[in-house]
Amino acid sequence: MYRGIFVTATDTEAGKTYVSCKIAEALKKFGVNTGVFKPVSTGDRNDAKALIKAAEIDENPEMVTPVFFKNPMSPYGASLLENDVSGKVFDLKKIDSSFKYFLNKYEFTVVEGVGGVLVPLKRNFFVSDLIKKFNLPIVVVARFGLGTLNHTLLTIEKLKRDKQKVLGIVLSGKRDKKDISVKSNASIIKEITNLFVLELGYNEKIDLEKNKWIIK
């Protein structure tokens, strides 16, 4: 079993937190001592609170999300706004320290990114660079509907160019019955990428017995 996974997405609001929570819940049920970690967040720390609840662990949101900006935008954009007032900058050392804490304390850690792989964290440092730094295998979260083929394939292409290990893709969220593409997107993505594809709707659980690719 891996030491953890990095959950990224095709873009913002694709369902990273929902999927990360479902993975944490499944791991706990599977008997794995699971930590959760979201290195950076903007707007609020609600994602960290949801992750803690899903994993049922005694951690505080400030530890789970060590770098926080109050403005709900990219971390780099938020840091530009807030730096003039408070001098706050993206603190990679703080992230490194917290990351090591979770890897050492828990058997397996679910790491959730922010936005998509090319969201800027600093001027020349993106989520994709954080993925390289952490060196964890990746689960990509995407939407069910129209447009997901392009977004998903672009994301996978970027990660493969970076020589990162992608375990599979989770299609998440609401299935729009009026969107005919929902019926074929999963099979097309699987055919083109040759990766595992899991369809996870609202209020559905992840069966790790059937989806062991997520952890090993």
The residues carrying an active-site annotation are: 38
Q: β-pairing, 125-126 with 120-122?
A: antiparallel
Q: Are 21 and 170 in contact (CB under 8 A)?
A: no
Tell me the two tokens of residue 23: 């993975």
Cite the DSSP H helix spans in the chain: 16-29, 46-55, 61-64, 75-86, 92-105, 127-134, 148-161, 182-193
Answer yes or no: are the C-beta atoms of 145 and 13 closer than 8 Å: no
Residue pair 90/40 in contact (Cβ under 8 Å)? The answer is: yes
Indicate the burial class of 150 (C-beta count within 10 angstroms; 0-12, 13-18, 19 or more): exposed
- Tell me, what amino acid is at 138? I
